[in-house]
Amino acid sequence: MLIIGGFLGLGICLAASVIDIREYRIPNRLVVVGLVVMVTVLSAVSVIERSWTPMVAGLLGGLAFFAAYLILALISPTGMGMGDVKLAAIVGLMLGPLGLSASIVGFYAAFIAGALFGLIRMAVHHSGLRSRLPFAPFMTIGAALGLLWPMIIV
């Protein structure tokens, strides 16, 4: 059931990516829908498993991702948007119940993918470090890798 929630979360991330690429923003309505979907899935899993562990792990993951991205956005307001911060909560809700290693992979993979893309773009287009770059696609890549991580490690 968690994998279903993961794929629903990825769907939200993909929609956010398309919008972020087009408009350099992530709509609040999409984030609210994503949060409701993820909390509903975690609630259902917790009821089915008769354990609050998935819900607690998801909430802790969501809070940790939100806090980390918020700190980055406050440090560099032009580098990270608040839409990314809110989307990070969805990614954390999705990856938290899968374990710490899945969350770490998802978190860092986003930044590694973004950095690699940025370096390639700078080399090909001779753009500078201040070029705008929508980050939701890289968060989606990180979320997908984090979601797949428990399946790869087994």
**DSSP labels for 4-54?**
HHHHHHHHHHHHHHHHHHHHS---HHHHHHHHHHHHHHHHHHHHHHT-SHH
pLDDT of residue 48: 94
pLDDT in tens, 74-126: 998 888 999 999 999 999 999 999 999 999 999 999 999 999 998 898 888 87
pLDDT in tens, 26-70: 999 999 999 999 999 999 999 999 999 999 999 999 999 999 999
CA–CA distance, 44 with 38 (Å, rounded to integer): 10
Q: Quickly state the pLDDT bin for 135 (edges 50, 70, 90).
A: very high
Q: Which token pair is 43?
A: 């609630």
CB contact set of 154 (below 8 Å; sequence gap of 6+) = none
Q: Averaged over 134-154, what is the pLDDT?
A: 93
pLDDT of residue 131: 73
Q: Which token pair is 84?
A: 């990314």
pLDDT of residue 23: 96
Residue appearing with tokens 């984090």: 146
pLDDT of residue 47: 95
75 close to 114: Cβ distance less than 8 angstroms: no
Q: What percent of the chain has pLDDT over 70?
A: 97
- Whether pTM > 0.85 for this model: the answer is yes
**Is 25 exposed, middle or buried (CB count within 10 Å of its CB: 0-12, 13-18, 19+)?**
middle
Highest mean pLDDT: which range of 19-23, 74-78, 125-129: 19-23
